[in-house]
């Protein structure tokens, strides 16, 4: 198995050359004094070193060993505790955190790259910092000053980790029907009682304390999603002076045996009148969670990208080493028993398919990061508002399209290994099992598709979609006289026209057919994803063309992968558009009991 090498050159390309992060950061009041290209570069280098050397090497064994549950205590796999310590000591937990409470305040465009490395190194390990960062976001956005002061510094340092407690056995997608109860104690605290499942790193031995954010209902709360409140429930109580007090009445009942991410503990958490504190307003729990959701959902897409990148690195190494059969052009290495399989067109097709997707995903997630940075760090209200619309529109795509394509990519990376891909020691099958969860958790991809099609497109008459399309159109217009760009610009024009056309079609259908949104959703999300990647690849091709004579082969390669994407992947939009236009009738005609 290949050793993970962080794709720093590609990350710098996306950051500095495609999205000109230096200009973005210099333009935003919140980042201009915090980060510049040199700082960013140093951060990327340091993160790569730590992850390549300390974290990635643990991943394979963590899958075999898993987290272990013993009478309520959970032990992380061998080496995780020490690696977590090293990660915390490097300050990585607080990389994007609020500087007022000890965070480093780095922009998402940058932290996204570090997140990709971390998740490529080990998804199981990476989930702990990821959940902590998510919990911090909610506390920072909605918690009282007292809560922030009491909890954030130790969470940014990683001394305490965070967990999100949403799902219950009967309530996953539909959080409106949760049963966990909260009752007021009269002293500002609440008692929380109920059972939560699928709680990632809900219990473990890596951090001194675990801060749970728990959704629960007050006795008089309205039914459904409008009656949910969010509570901060620490595993160990925190005294006034910040020291740890007695154990709170919550416990881990068991951990799940699952398909992948076995190194991480997926916990059943039992709350038995556990003490908690309200985060945000009463009955506003879902809104408070959603503050965090856009970040988390993007990170899930980035997680999937990380695993896909690792699978690609393994596959390329194997394809260069494995000797099997001869090139159709004749022997390439007559002195060897056979040619390396990378000579075969179909192996190259698989490798290029992987690469076009991972590099498209890296550009796209950084692009979404750019909009998140503007919403967070700009002081211009109009810019913030427009950026928020883009974040809302693009986030479900970043979560679901990246993860759907990452499953394909890791399956392809496994396929290149033939029978060896099915054997555990090679690691390729683990990446498939691990990445599979990214399509499921943090809102299953079908839910992301409904969110995009229903809430983000149809509900506002396609307004945000038009903003996105206008941006693409202005890129097209700016490059329409560039003959070298024509091979990208012409199809991109067709794709953006098609997306607008299909969007109008669904908006129209939805007026008279309640099922139109659900019927179109999944294919529409993929259509959007391919179109957005076409835009990403055109932008990357533009930069590559400008530097083609620089003597750096990197740009010629980039251009070739762009061509592959345009000529051999983008055609999928035709099929997706036809499916969408077929409407809902074939889906709805069959009675439920005849399935």
Q: Which one of residues 278, 437, 465, 469 is an interface residue with a copy of itself (CB under 8 A)?
A: 437
222 lies in the binding site for a copy of itself (CB under 8 A) = no
Distance CA 468, CA 398 (A): 14
Give the CA distances from residue 542 to residues 478, 539, 562, in Å, rounded to whole numbers and listed in that order. Answer: 11, 5, 10
**Of residues 257, 379, 511, 549, which one binds a copy of itself by CB under 8 A?**
257
As a whole number of angstroms, the distance between CA 442 and CA 150 comes to 27
Q: How far is the CB of 420 from a copy of itself (least distance, A)?
A: 8
Q: Is 440 an interacting residue with respect to a copy of itself (CB under 8 A)?
A: yes
Contact window for a copy of itself (CB under 8 A) among 87-95, 108-116, 201-209, 423-431: 423-431
Phi–psi pair at 79, nearest 5 degrees: 90, -15
First-to-last alpha carbon distance for the chain, in angstroms, is 44
Stretch that binds a copy of itself, among 51-59, 181-189, 291-299, 553-561 (CB under 8 A): 553-561
Q: Measured from the CB of residue 443, what is the shortest distance to a copy of itself in angstroms?
A: 10
Nearer to a copy of itself, 470 or 588 (CB): 588
For a copy of itself, the binding residues in 447-476 under the rule CB under 8 A are 449-450
Identify residues 475-514 at the interface with a copy of itself (CB under 8 A): 514
Judged by beta carbon, residue 373 or residue 451, the one nearer a copy of itself is 451
- Rounded to a whole number of angstroms, the minimum distance from the CB of residue 169 to a copy of itself is 9
Binding a copy of itself (rule: CB under 8 A), the pick from 9, 23, 49, 349 is 349
User: Which of 442, 487, 495, 512 does the annotation list as catalytic?
Assistant: 442
Interactions with a copy of itself, residue window 128-167 (CB under 8 A): 167
Q: Which of 181, 258, 384, 455 binds a copy of itself (CB under 8 A)?
A: 258
Q: Give the footprint of a copy of itself on residues 96-135 (CB under 8 A).
A: none
Distance between CA 564 and CA 164 in Å, rounded? 40
246 assigned to active site? no
The number of beta carbons lying within 10 Å of the beta carbon of residue 535 is 24
Does 546 interact with a copy of itself (rule: CB under 8 A)?
A: no
Shortest distance in whole angstroms from residue 536 CB to a copy of itself: 17
List, in order, residues 6 or more apart from 73 with CB less than 8 Å away. 203, 205, 252
Report the residue from 459, 478, 546, 578 that binds a copy of itself according to the rule CB under 8 A. Answer: 578
Instruction: List the one residue from 418, 490, 546, 550 that touches a copy of itself (CB under 8 A).
Output: 418
Closest listed residue to residue 272, CA positions, set 182, 359, 152: 182
**Interacting residues with a copy of itself between 356 and 415 (CB under 8 A):** 407, 411, 414-415
Residue whose CB is less far from a copy of itself, 25 or 564 = 564
Supply the minimum distance, in Å, between the C-beta of residue 486 and a copy of itself: 16
- Looking at residue 584, the DSSP 8-state letter turns out to be S
| Site residues (CB under 8 A) for a copy of itself, limited to 162-201 | 167, 170-174, 177, 197-198
Q: Are 233 and 274 in contact (CB under 8 A)?
A: yes
Measured between alpha carbons, how far is 397 from 521 in angstroms, rounded to an integer? 11
Taking the complex as a whole, the smallest distance from the CB of residue 229 to a copy of itself amounts, in Å, to 19
Among 446, 455, 460, 548, binds a copy of itself (CB under 8 A): 446
Choice from 129, 396, 518, 529 touching a copy of itself (CB under 8 A): 518
339: left (phi over 0), alpha (psi -120 to 50) or beta: beta
Work out which of 422, 459, 463, 501 binds a copy of itself, going by CB under 8 A.
422
Among 70, 71, 241, 328, binds a copy of itself (CB under 8 A): 328
Q: For residues 108 and 366, what is the distance between their CA atoms, to the nearest angstrom?
A: 8
How far is residue 195's CA from residue 53's CA, in Å, rounded to a whole number?
38
Phi, psi values for residue 3, rounded to 5°: -80, 140
Q: How far apart are CA 195 and CA 193, in angstroms?
A: 7
What is the C-alpha separation between 555 and 562, in angstroms, rounded?
11
Q: How far is CA 471 from the centre of its chain?
A: 24
CA 291 to chain centre: 15
> Hunting for tokens 């595993």 — which residue is that?
235
C-alpha to C-alpha distance for 98 and 156, rounded to whole angstroms: 9
Q: Catalogue the active-site residues.
A: 442
């Amino acid at each position: 198995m290949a050793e993970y090498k962080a794709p720093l050159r590609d990350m710098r390309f996306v950051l500095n050359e495609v999205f000109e992060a230096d200009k973005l950061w210099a333009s935003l009041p919140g980042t201009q004094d915090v980060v510049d290209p040199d700082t960013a570069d140093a951060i990327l280098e340091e993160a790569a070193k730590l992850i390549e050397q300390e974290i990635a090497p643990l991943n394979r064994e963590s899958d075999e060993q898993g987290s272990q549950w013993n009478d309520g205590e959970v032990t992380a796999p061998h080496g995780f505790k020490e690696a977590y310590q090293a990660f915390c000591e490097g300050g990585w937990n607080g990389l994007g955190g609020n500087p007022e409470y000890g965070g480093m305040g780095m922009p998402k465009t940058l932290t996204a790259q570090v997140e990709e490395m971390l998740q490529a190194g080990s998804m199981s390990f990476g989930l702990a910092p990821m959940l902590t960062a998510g919990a911090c976001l909610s506390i920072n956005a909605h918690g009282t000053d007292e809560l922030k002061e009491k909890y954030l510094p130790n969470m940014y340092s990683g001394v305490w980790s965070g967990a999100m407690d949403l799902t219950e056995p009967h309530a996953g997608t539909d959080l409106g029907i949760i049963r966990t109860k909260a009752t007021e104690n009269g002293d500002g605290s609440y008692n929380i009682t109920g059972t939560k499942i699928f709680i990632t790193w809900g219990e473990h031995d890596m951090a001194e304390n675990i801060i749970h954010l728990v959704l629960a209902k007050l006795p008089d709360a309205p039914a459904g999603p409008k009656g949910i409140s969010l509570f901060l429930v620490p595993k160990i109580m925190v005294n006034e002076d910040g020291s740890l007090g007695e154990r709170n009445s919550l416990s881990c009942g068991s951990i799940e045996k699952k398909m992948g991410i076995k190194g991480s503990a997926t916990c059943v958490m039992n709350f038995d009148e556990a003490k908690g504190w309200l985060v945000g307003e009463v009955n506003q729990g879902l809104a408070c969670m959603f503050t965090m959701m856009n970040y988390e959902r993007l990170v899930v897409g980035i997680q999937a990208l990380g695993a896909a990148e690792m699978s690609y690195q393994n596959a390329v190494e194997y394809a260069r080493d494995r000797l099997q059969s001869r090139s159709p052009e004749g022997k390439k290495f007559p002195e060897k028993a056979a040619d390396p399989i990378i000579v075969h067109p179909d192996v190259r097709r698989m490798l290029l398919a992987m690469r076009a997707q991972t590099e498209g995903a890296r550009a796209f997630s950084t692009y979404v990061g750019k909009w998140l940075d503007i919403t967070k760090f700009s002081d211009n209200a109009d810019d913030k508002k427009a950026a928020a619309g883009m974040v809302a529109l693009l986030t479900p795509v970043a979560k679901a399209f990246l993860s759907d394509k990452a499953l394909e990519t890791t399956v392809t990376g496994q396929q290149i290994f033939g029978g060896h891909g099915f054997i555990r020691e090679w690691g390729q099958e683990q990446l498939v099992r691990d990445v599979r969860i990214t399509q499921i958790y943090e809102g299953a991809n079908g839910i992301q598709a409904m969110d995009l099609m229903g809430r983000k497109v149809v509900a506002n008459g396609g307004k945000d979609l038009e903003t996105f399309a206008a941006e693409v159109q202005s890129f097209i217009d700016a490059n329409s006289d560039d003959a070298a760009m024509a091979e990208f610009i012409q199809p991109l024009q067709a794709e953006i026209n098609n997306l607008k056309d299909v969007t109008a079609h669904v908006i129209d259908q939805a007026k008279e057919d309640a099922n139109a949104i659900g019927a179109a959703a999944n294919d529409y999300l993929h259509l959007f994803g391919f179109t957005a990647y076409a835009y990403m690849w055109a932008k990357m091709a533009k930069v590559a063309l400008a530097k083609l004579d620089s003597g750096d082969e990197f740009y010629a390669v980039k251009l070739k992968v762009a061509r592959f994407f345009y000529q051999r992947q983008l055609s999928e939009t035709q099929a997706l558009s036809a499916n969408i236009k077929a409407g809902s009738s074939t889906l709805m005609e069959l009675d439920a009991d005849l399935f």
